[in-house]
Amino acid sequence: MSTEAYIETPLGIATISGDKDGITSVSVTKETTIIPSTMIPPYLQDTVVQLREYFEGDRTHFDLTLNPSGTDFQKKVWDELLKIPFGKTVSYLDIAKRLGDPKSIRAAASANGKNPLWIIIPCHRVIGSDGSLTGYAGGLWRKKWLLAHENPVKQQSLF
């Protein structure tokens, strides 16, 4: 039986779902009436800790048991997304090429958009071939925030 927890993040309330077999989903909501959980179910405690560390700038890699639902192709795409290093980006075409078929770019982009594990499977690190911040289910402002958060070169103020 899947359990849920709600945590506050700089980008909104995140809903975390999972069970003894692993984390099944992490999503961010625009809903403003959800109250963060005061009690975190045991299966979700590591995820909550690691997400908090990520947002505090203390974590660049997640070490969790993942159990997302999806087709075999979607899971292959998500496995490729997990290989994108922190602070780096790749294009949808790069993902399709890594899967062995550059013509699968639309299918790869679709699978990317159906990623059920927000941030943990880093779909925000996939951009257009021209460097543009293309579609992001959580809103482009969140994608921009996440990429800036992960950028190893922080802009310094001149004043």
* pLDDT one-digit tens code per residue, 7-32: 999 999 999 999 999 999 999 987 77
What is the tens place of the pLDDT at every residue in 91-125?
A: 999 999 999 999 999 999 999 999 999 999 999 99
Q: Which long-range contacts (CB under 8 A, 24 or more apart) does 143-148 make?
A: 145/10, 145/11, 146/11, 146/119, 147/89
Q: Annotated active-site positions, please?
A: 123
Question: One-letter amino acid identity for 18?
Answer: G
Share of the chain above pLDDT 70, in %: 95
Q: Do 11 and 28 touch, CB atoms closer than 8 A?
A: yes
